[in-house]
Structure 1
Amino acid sequence: MSYPETREDAAARFGTEAFYASLGRAFVAMCALIPVLFLIEALDIAIGRGRLDMAGGIIPHRLDGLDGVIFSPFLHASWDHLYGNAVPLILVGTFVLAAGTRRFIWSTLLIMLISGLGVWFIGDPDSVVVGASGVIFGYLGLLFARGFVERSWWNLGVAAFIGLLYWYQLYNVLPTDQPISWQGHLLGLIGGVIAAILFRRRPSRGAPALPDPTTPTLTDF
């Protein structure tokens, strides 16, 4: 018995019209997120440099800094910090989101949780950690692991390409004397790998093909 291809299956297959449409929508959505981050940074400057960072950043080992697990990815220490994260966030975020909105949301939350809680537990207690870098490294780890988990050369190729573009940043997952949260980067990367395994796409058999062309086909949105 043959089964029709679901919308999700078509969007995951490189070269299909659904694939390119999904990629385009994801790119627009990620581009729309960046102005929000710039508005937040402008607000931080308007009310006093660093006030939002202190209020919403991760402060390791302190209960009043635990809410930063949720808020810190939306905050940045400076314009340069934000500029450095904006382009890679669009790139990796587009390919992660193109694979499905629900998987994107759950994967992002898991990456934020693992990266943020990890920083809170093992980070420098005299620091305030902000920035989307942990999420970016998480997306990169997710794409790379998804290539193996789902046997997708497309995801593997994308991760390798982005890794080549930003190879110099990969060293930031190792301990350093610079004011960089390598813990957040490393744990974000690990969180992305875990997300790729937990939220992997399972081939859908769809609904049986029916002889009546007027009968709607069930799909998984």
Structure 2
Amino acid sequence: MFKNLVSKNALVYPIFMLAAMWLGFLLQWLGFFESCFGAIIPLLPEGLLGIITAPLLHGNLDHIVSNSIPIAILMFLLYQFYPKVATKVFVLGWLATGFLVWILPPIDIFTGNYYYTCTVGASGVVYVLAFFLFFSGVFRWNMKLLTISLLVVLYYGSLIWGIFPEELFSEITEPSKISWQAHLAGAVVGSLLAFIYKKSGEKKKKFIWEFPNYYSEKDDKLWQEYKENHAEDFMELPYQKREDVWEHLEELRKNKS
């Protein structure tokens, strides 16, 4: 029963991603990725490698732990409920977000000064997944998928504040170490992918009787037979008698149940 409810890919791919992230972190700890090597360095050729490798690298233990949990949950939801487009969304979201971070110069919004920065971490991918899952349910207007959208808002709604520079909400004397550019890029990419793939995958089910001009000869026959056998239900009755009829019908309904 469990196999039929949960997709194999919804378990395998999140585990694979977590393994890759923690392997990258281990290699960092062993000194294989020193300084800014493997990070996204905006507008510099040596930072292009980071488009691929940056989501697998993290600044410290707290950084990777804080990204591991949402990556596991959101990837599970993506592959469980959007299996036909999940891999496309994940890969395109990863690369497009990294490229946007690379072309967005890190600038102090108050002084306008450019500062050198190295961006690592999977938070951009987290934003891609969260915004894709939310807007996909909204665009498709499917009750099951809308439930996923509400779950994302319930647990990760506070992510919205991450797309704004920290300087707007607190007094800091130096540029924040949190890349709001990566968050903003992920949010934009995830929303666009939700719109692009809104007609792919599971569609809203429409029952046959919901279509215009629906007609069933069998239903019509049953209705006509009921009208012939219960003509009193269609007569204009005094108010008191109508109440008696409804009470009688209610008693019949209770007895049947």
Both structures adopt the same fold (TM-score exceeding 0.5): yes
- Match of residue 41 from structure 1: 25
| Partners of 2:131 and 2:191 within 8 A in 1 | yes
Higher relative contact order (CA 8 A, sep 6+): 1
TM-score by length of 1: 0.74
Q: Could you list the per-position Cα deviations for residues 87-120 of structure 1 after superposition, in whole angstroms to 9, with x for gaps in the alignment? A: 1001111111124555122112221233212211
Aligned amino acid, residue 19 of structure 2: P
- Normalising by structure 2, we get a TM-score of 0.65
Once the two structures are TM-superposed, the CA of residue 202 in structure 1 deviates from its matched residue by 5.2
Deviates more, 1:104-113 or 1:141-150: 104-113
Superposed CA deviations along residues 116-143 of structure 1, whole A, max 9, x for unmatched, are 1221122325110011111111111111
Aligned match for 1:195, one of 193, 196, 202: 193
Cα deviation 1:143-194 (Å, max 9, x = unaligned): 1111122222333322322332233333111111431111111111111111
Give 1:159's aligned residue: 149
Counterpart check, 1:31 vs 2:15: yes
Structure 1 window deviating more from structure 2 (108-117 vs 178-187): it is 108-117
Single out whichever of 183-192 and 159-168 deviates more from structure 2: 159-168
Length, aligned pairs only: 186
**Does residue 1:137 correspond to 2:127, yes or no?**
yes
Q: Distance in 2 between matches of 1:123 and 1:99?
A: 36
SS at match of 1:56: coil
* Alpha-carbon shift at residue 76 of structure 1 (Å): 1.0
Amino acid at match of 1:69: I
Q: Which entry has the higher C-alpha Rg, 1 or 2?
A: 2
1:123–1:181 CA contact under 8 A, matched in 2: no
Number of the residue aligned with 1:176: 166
Determine which of 5, 21, 24 is the counterpart of 2:6: 21
Distance 1:203 1:171, change over 3 A: closer
SS in 1 for 2:181: helix
Uncovered stretches (5+) of structure 1, i.e. residues with no partner: 1-15, 205-221
- Separation of aligned partners in 2, 1:71 and 1:83: 18
Provide closer, same or farther for how the CA distance between residues 154 and 46 of structure 1 changes in structure 2, counting only shifts above 3 A: same
Distance 1:45 1:186 in 2: 28
Question: What is the DSSP-based 3-state SS (H/G/I as helix, E as strand, rest coil) of the residue aligned with 1:98?
Answer: helix
Contact preservation (8 Å) 1:143, 1:196: yes
Output the CA distance in 2 between the equivalents of 1:102 and 1:82.
29
Q: Which moved more, 1:101-110 or 1:34-43?
A: 101-110
Aligned to 1:147: 137
> Partners in 2 of 1:17 and 1:80 — Cα distance?
33
* Stretches of structure 2 lacking an aligned partner (at least 5 in a row): 107-114, 168-175, 204-257
* CA 1:182–1:156: 2 relative to 1, 3 Å: farther
Find the aligned partners of 2:2 and 2:197 in 1 and give their Cα distance: 24
**Where does residue 60 of structure 2 map in the other structure?**
78
8 Å CA contact retained: 2:21, 2:57? yes
The 1:70–1:80 alpha-carbon spacing in structure 2 relative to 1, beyond 3 Å, is same
